[in-house]
């Protein structure tokens, strides 16, 4: 899907500042992923009729800002900013960056937009009652151009056709993967899946 999206001059300057910061914090592969998710988020926002394409872009760009932080950096930030991980979160470092990313963006970057921040907060687990931007970012992370996991083409096709079907496939993929690896499933993920099932 082609995109006609362009940032305003002020947004472009802000995007360049964020990109410079991301290049300092992220490994090259993760930085490229962030750019790809930003592009995917804009495409999905256009497709699903979400009006704020700039917000979708920035959510995608910033969603993994602390992904390459060390275990100690994550723990220090959670302690510094008063975030208490749940028992399930405490044992799964893969989930931490969604929480610490929000803390960094809010306390160090001065971002106050709750819609953007919650989209980043739940981009790994999803949750029941997701906002349109939360769903867009969750799916964009699955279908970005750099992704090459088994089933990604099916995921992209689903996202191009119907958001609810794509969310169901994505959540099933996540839950199945966690079960196969004998990992605990975050309650937010189960709540998101159950909500979709009940809606059918």
The answer to whether position 57 is within a domain reads yes
- Kindly tell me if the per-residue pLDDT of 96 is higher than 70: yes
Q: What pLDDT, on a 0 to 100 scale, did the predictor assign at position 2?
A: 43
The answer to whether position 48 is within a domain reads yes
Residue span of the structural domain in which 168 resides: 9-199
Q: CB atoms < 10 A from the CB of 31, how many?
A: 19
Q: CB atoms < 10 A from the CB of 151, how many?
A: 12
The answer to whether position 186 is within a domain reads yes
CATH number at residue 184: 1.10.3210.10
The answer to whether position 3 is within a domain reads no
Q: What pLDDT, on a 0 to 100 scale, did the predictor assign at position 199?
A: 78
Q: What is the per-residue pLDDT across 115-135, written as a single tens digit (0 to 9) for each?
A: 999 999 999 999 999 999 999
Distance CA 179, CA 157 (A): 25
- In sequence order, which ranges of the chain are alpha helices (DSSP H)? 9-25, 28-48, 53-62, 71-80, 87-90, 96-107, 114-121, 132-143, 152-161, 163-180, 187-199
Q: How many domains does the chain have?
A: 1
The answer to whether position 1 is within a domain reads no
The answer to whether position 25 is within a domain reads yes
> Whole-model pTM?
0.96
Q: Is the dihedral of CA 55, 139, 32, 29 positive or negative?
A: positive
The answer to whether position 16 is within a domain reads yes
The answer to whether position 2 is within a domain reads no
């Amino acid at each position: 899907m082609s995109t006609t999206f362009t940032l305003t001059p002020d947004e472009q300057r802000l995007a360049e500042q964020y990109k410079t910061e991301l290049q300092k914090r992220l490994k090259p592969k993760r930085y490229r992923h962030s750019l790809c998710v930003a592009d995917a988020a804009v495409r999905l926002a256009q497709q699903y009729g979400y009006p704020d394409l700039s917000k979708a872009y920035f959510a995608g760009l910033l969603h993994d800002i602390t992904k390459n932080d060390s275990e100690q950096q994550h723990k220090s930030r959670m302690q510094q900013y008063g975030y208490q991980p749940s028992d399930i979160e405490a044992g799964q470092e893969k989930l931490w960056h969604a929480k610490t990313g929000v803390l960094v963006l809010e306390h160090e970057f001065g971002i106050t937009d709750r819609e953007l921040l919650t989209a980043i907060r739940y981009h790994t687990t999803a949750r029941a009652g997701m906002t349109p931007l939360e769903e867009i970012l969750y799916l964009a992370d699955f279908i970005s151009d750099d992704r090459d996991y088994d089933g990604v083409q099916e995921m992209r096709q689903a996202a191009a056709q119907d958001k609810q079907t794509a969310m169901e496939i994505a959540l099933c993929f996540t839950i199945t993967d966690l079960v196969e690896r004998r990992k605990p499933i975050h309650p937010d993920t189960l709540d998101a899946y159950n909500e979709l099932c009940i809606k059918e």
